[in-house]
Structure 1
Amino acid sequence: MKQFPAFSAALAALALASCTMPADPPPKSMHAQLKTATQVDVKRYSGRWYEVARLPQWFQKDCASATADYSLNKDGSIKVVNTCIQADGSRRSVEGRAEPADGTNSRLKVRFPGKWYAAAIPVPKEGNYWIIDLTPDYRHAIVGTPDRWTLWFLSRSPRISKQDFARMKKVAHEQGFDTSRLVVDAHTRIGG
């Protein structure tokens, strides 16, 4: 098996990375419980979302023009299809399944079955995909994880006003996310 040494090296690197500490202490708000949207109507949340910005993630390396499509399954779960364009111009998609972790639908348990890392990454009972902000018209959403290492700004359009982008940054920063590390997606247009 030629893949075993590479897999072992990747697993060792992941274990080592999890032992390192950030150089700066986390903001005080990082110790507080992450606040989520009060209530999410899954039907209204369904559809296409464009990634406006994100915190860098290994699984999105060399990904641009990212979108997330959500649709309701018959069993009440949510189908998640994340797509991006890779550096070589090819399209990459991953399909997952989300289940509400509470009655607000703002905390979701998302899994991506069939991926090598799916079994290695436990999904906590309180969910791993938290909708921390959602505009009343369902045009913009901020999604993050309770550990504050992952964060996405989502919009129904790749165009967003400077004011809306600044508001999203402020909300995320106040929740303890390091917004200085945000990567703006290649398709995003921030304007007046």
Structure 2
Amino acid sequence: MKRLPLLLGLSAALLLGGCAHSDLGPLPPKTADRVDLKRYQGTWYELARLPMFFQRDCAQSEAHYSLKPDGNVGVLNRCRTLEGEWQEARGTATPQFAGKTDKLWVEFDNWFSTLLPGVAKGDYWVLYVDDDYQTALVGNPNRRYLWLLSRKPTVSAYQRESLLAKARQQGYDTTRLIWRVSDRDVARQP
């Protein structure tokens, strides 16, 4: 009789532990922990990205970040199509948590954000940035978005493989990456 409460307690603990584990799904990716936004500002070139609707026509993309006096980050994303036309989107990145600079919300200035302010925010998680702030990985918690970034439009094979390995370690599917198109493959605009 003394064993029955112990067995019931153990069974309940195992059952609840199993339920909690199965409902949580995969853990979110780890972030860079601390990002010096002053050093992060400037131009970043997209080396590769996971497919996404809003960049469907982009052959070359770049992001320009500028630190604002309020601590937020001004965002200017530029996309060059295969026809050589440039498209732009402006927005603001704000820390998701006070004092943390590796997880940001990005909200773009568009009709949707004007109509429903605060609803159209996207996760911008800095997963990795090298010590010199020359290469970075950015993604989101559900691993649907990923960008490999560099201060230059191209990187060495070693840097490329290093970024890919870091992305795979974080659980991202790098086989689906769309790579930056070379300048010679983009039509020149007069």
Match of residue 109, structure 2, among 87, 97, 113: 113
1:174 equivalent to 2:185? Answer no
Larger Rg: 2
Given that 2:28 and 2:142 are in contact with CA atoms closer than 8 Å, whether structure 1 keeps it comes out as no
Aligned position for 2:20: none
* 8 Å Cα contact 1:109/1:123 also seen in 2: no
SS at match of 1:59: helix
Query: What is the number of equivalent residue pairs in this alignment?
Result: 157
SS in 1 for 2:91: strand
Task: Give yes or no for contact 1:68–1:82 (8 Å, CA) kept in 2.
Answer: yes
- Structure 1: how far apart are the matches of 2:62 and 2:182? 10
Offset at 1:107?
0.3
Q: Work out whether residues 65 and 74 of structure 2, in 8 Å CA contact, stay in contact via their aligned partners in 1.
A: yes
Shift of 1:121: 8.6
1:81 to 57, 68, 76: 76
Name the SS of the counterpart of 1:157 in structure 2. coil
CA offset digits 1:64-117 (Å, max 9, x no partner): 221000001122110000001123321100001000123230100110122437
Amino acid at match of 1:54: R
Is residue 95 from structure 1 mapped to residue 90 from structure 2 by the alignment? yes
Structure 2 CA distance for aligned equivalents of residues 60 and 76 of structure 1: 27
TM, length-normalised to structure 2 = 0.76
The alpha-carbon distance between structure 1 residues 61 and 121, as it changes in their structure 2 partners (threshold 3 A), is: farther
Determine the structure 2 residue equivalent to 1:14. Answer: none
The alignment status of 1:33 with 2:28, answered yes or no, reads yes
Structure 1 residues 1-192: aligned runs within 5 Å: 31-102=26-97, 103-116=99-112, 119=116, 122=119, 128-187=123-182
Deviations 1:54-73 (A, max 9, x none): 00111011212210000011
Matched-pair identity in %: 39
3-state DSSP of counterpart to 1:128: strand
Amino acid at match of 2:181: A
Give the aligned partner of residue 8 of structure 1. Answer: none
1:18-68 Cα deviation digits (max 9, x unpaired): xxxxxxxxxxxx701210002110000000000000001110112122100
The separation in 1 between residues aligned to 2:46 and 2:111, in whole angstroms, is: 22
User: What SS does structure 2 have at the residue aligned with 1:63?
Assistant: coil
Uncovered stretches (5+) of structure 1, i.e. residues with no partner: 1-29
Q: Give the aligned residue type for 1:113.
A: D
- The worse-fitting range, judged by mean Cα deviation, of 115-124 and 43-52 is 115-124
Q: Aligned letter for 1:53?
A: A
8 A contact 1:56–1:181 mirrored in 2: yes
Deviates further, 107-116 or 147-156 = 107-116
Cα RMSD between the aligned structures?
2.1
